[in-house]
Amino acid sequence: MLGTLAPAIIMLIVFLIITLIYPLNKNRTLQLAEDLKKKRNR
């Protein structure tokens, strides 16, 4: 049980931290894509 439960709990905690600290919504994703496109055209 420890071999599967502990990693699952750790992965859940990491997932929650990532989603709270770095939220990616549609507007943010589009803005990042636009910024990358501008940098590539230079």
Domain locations in the chain? 2-40
Q: Is 90 exceeded by the pLDDT of residue 1?
A: no
CA angle centred on 35, ends 42 and 26, rounded to 5°: 155
The confidence score (pLDDT) of residue 23 equals: 80
Q: Can you read off the two tokens belonging to residue 14? A: 């990491």
pLDDT in tens, 2-42: 899 999 999 999 999 998 998 888 999 999 999 999 999 98
In the chain, the largest separation of any two C-alpha atoms, in whole Å, equals 54
How far apart (Å, rounded) are the C-alpha atoms in residues 39 and 42? Answer: 6
Burial 4-13 (b: 16+ CB within 10 A, else e): eeeeeeeeee
